[in-house]
A = this chain, B = another copy of it.
């Protein structure tokens, strides 16, 4: 069916998607026009309609693509075994690096959570995040049996995500330093907080 022809028919669609992801993540759906995307690609706006039926269709394809690849590296995380504590620590580091190195993904997620309709959010939860959510929830149950594991999973993700999401505002708070945006530094802080709570002095063994 899909015959990759000659010049670059498949390539154009990929380029469009990449530019769309970048622009939608940066400015949001309503602040990116079809002309903006076309210009970034190097074509005219009507040419976009050879690849996508309309703007919404292009947006959904862009978001899907941005979220699609996020399930591969994750699975490998837990293949190597380790104690639950070690696995959680690995996950926090993975999440920090992942979110820190892909601001487009993070911003698209923020925008979807803010403005996505129920249908889109349901798909997002089921198809993109459910596996990861269940894995962390299982871990949470082992590590903190008396805690609401559902809530704890949200807490862990939120703890990481918010350090990145709040960056633009946090920068103007007293005591801000460059390392506060460093994924490794954030991960270390979060891991410490999770395992020891506020009282970071009484370290418990967890390795």
Which stretch (A44-52, A57-65, A69-77, A144-152) binds chain B?
A: A144-152
Give the residues in chain B near A148, CB-CB below 8 Å. Answer: 180, 189
Is there an interface contact between B147 and A200, defined as CB atoms closer than 8 Å?
A: yes
Separation in Å of the A171 CB from the closest CB of chain B? 8
Query: Would A180 and B150 count as touching, CB distance under 8 A?
Result: yes
Indicate whether A163 sits within 8 Å of B174 (C-beta atoms), given known contacts A144-B200, A168-B121, A197-B194.
no
Chain B residues with CB below 8 A from A6, complex form? none
A111 at interface, CB cutoff 8 A: yes
This chain's copy number in the assembly: 2
CA distance A162 to B136 in the complex (A): 17
Judged by a CB distance under 8 angstroms, whether A14 is at the interface is: no
Among candidates B113, B140, B171, residue contacting A168 with C-beta atoms closer than 8 Å: B113
Q: Are A147 and B192 in contact (CB under 8 A)?
A: yes
Contact assessment for B193 and A155 in the assembled complex, using a CB-CB cutoff below 8 Å = yes
Which of B125, B163, B194 contacts A169, CB < 8 Å?
A: B125
Asked if A101 is an interface residue, CB under 8 A from chain B, the answer is: no
A31 interface residue per 8 A CB criterion: yes
Q: Given A28-B115, A111-B114, A121-B168, are A133 and B174 neighbors across the interface (CB < 8 Å)?
A: yes
